[in-house]
């Protein structure tokens, strides 16, 4: 089953200016966040990806096509007489095989239309879809099972994000009766991990954004269901969030690192 990853945007919120590095290649623990997203899917057996490229898409191609495997692995170098050398990979985080299609979907193309532009690469009646900037600790197979059980066209992951601010409960005399530091907000939000029937492509028009157009229309018709995820979830929209994710990885506390936890 194909996993479509929307990775063609500019990522302006992360840098605050026109980026020279595409957001999918911003690193967490020395690896692009796109690698983390794909690696978590691959752990659960979803290893075929369609990357919807746009802004600086050639940099993403170059990273995965031209980067030598030894750079990210433990290696053995055998040096013989006469200058002969042999490099053997000893251990690598890239143990899972991946199949990647790099699809140029346009620099300014809205997210919904990007799906239309990769329709020819999507076999079967269902496909998974996500962005390049969100991490979670769930098994996508569980969302797929839920999607198949309800029979609607689309499933979106619902998560509860932490508040950006400390929350106060005030008494009548303005005395602070309770202080809660950045609790989870009560409202469910779009976590960015989807399962779609192929029929969703018939719902998309040229110029559509996935969020503001396609999902809005599907919800109005009762064709969009929620998969509630209460575990770890974090997006990477800001430099501060990138730093937080990087720190979790470097401390060995990254909840999305399911492939290492299972070893």
Can you point out the beta strands (E) in the chain? 2-7, 27-28, 31-32, 48-53, 73-79, 85-92, 99-104, 126-131, 134-136, 154-159, 167-170, 176-180, 189-197, 224-228, 233-235
Q: Is the pLDDT of residue 261 over 70?
A: no
**Which residue, among 154, 135, 86, has the nearest Cα to 255 in the 3D structure?**
135
How far apart are the C-alpha atoms of 8 and 235, rounded to whole Å? Answer: 16
Q: Is the pLDDT of residue 61 over 70?
A: yes
Higher-confidence residue: 172 or 16? 172
Average pLDDT over residues 82-109: 80
Question: Model confidence over 177-191: pLDDT tens digits?
Answer: 777 777 677 789 999
pLDDT for the residue numbered 19:
66
pLDDT for the residue numbered 176:
74
Indicate the range of 41-45, 56-60, 72-76, 117-121 predicted with least confidence.
72-76
CATH of the domain at 199: 3.90.550.10
Q: Is 252 left (phi over 0), alpha (psi -120 to 50) or beta?
A: left
Q: Across the chain, what does the average pLDDT equal? A: 88
pLDDT for the residue numbered 67:
77
Question: Model confidence over 155-178: pLDDT tens digits?
Answer: 999 998 877 777 777 887 777 777
Average pLDDT over residues 122-130: 96
Q: What total number of domains does the chain contain? A: 1
Q: Is the pLDDT of residue 83 over 80?
A: no
pLDDT for the residue numbered 77:
76
How far apart are the C-alpha atoms of 187 and 198, rounded to whole Å? Answer: 29
Q: Is the pLDDT of residue 213 over 90?
A: yes
pLDDT for the residue numbered 96:
64
pLDDT for the residue numbered 84:
80
Q: Is the pLDDT of residue 263 over 80?
A: no
Residue 94's pLDDT band (cuts 50, 70, 90): low
Higher-confidence residue: 21 or 179? 21
Q: What's the whole-model pTM score?
A: 0.85
Question: Model confidence over 215-230: pLDDT tens digits?
Answer: 999 999 999 999 999 9
How far apart are the C-alpha atoms of 50 and 55, rounded to whole Å? Answer: 16
Domain with 118 in it = 2-261
pLDDT for the residue numbered 74:
77
Q: Is the pLDDT of residue 109 over 60?
A: yes
Q: Is the pLDDT of residue 115 over 70?
A: yes
């Amino acid at each position: 089953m194909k996993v479509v990853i929307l990775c063609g945007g500019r990522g302006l919120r992360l840098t605050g200016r026109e980026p020279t590095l595409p957001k999918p290649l911003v690193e967490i623990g020395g690896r692009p966040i796109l690698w983390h997203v794909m690696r978590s899917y691959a752990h659960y057996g979803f290893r075929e990806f369609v990357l919807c490229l746009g802004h600086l898409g050639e940099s993403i191609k170059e990273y995965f096509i031209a980067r030598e495997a030894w750079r990210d692995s433990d290696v053995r170098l055998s040096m013989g007489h006469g200058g002969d050398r042999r490099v053997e990979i000893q251990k690598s985080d890239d143990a899972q095989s991946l199949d990647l299609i790099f699809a140029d979907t346009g620099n300014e193309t809205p997210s919904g239309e990007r799906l239309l532009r990769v329709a020819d690469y999507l076999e079967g009646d269902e496909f998974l879809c996500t962005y390049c900037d969100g991490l979670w600790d769930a098994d996508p197979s569980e969302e797929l099972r839920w999607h198949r059980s309800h029979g609607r066209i689309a499933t979106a992951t619902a998560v509860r994000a932490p508040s950006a601010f400390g929350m106060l409960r005030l008494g009548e005399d303005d005395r602070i009766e309770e202080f809660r530091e950045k609790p989870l907000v009560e409202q469910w939000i779009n976590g960015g991990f989807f399962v779609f029937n192929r029929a969703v492509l018939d719902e998309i028009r040229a110029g559509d954004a996935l969020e503001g157009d396609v999902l809005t229309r599907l919800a109005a018709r009762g064709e969009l269901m929620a998969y509630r995820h209460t575990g770890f979830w974090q997006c990477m929209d800001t430099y501060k969030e990138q730093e937080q994710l990087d720190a979790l990885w470097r401390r060995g506390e990254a909840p999305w690192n399911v492939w290492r936890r299972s070893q």
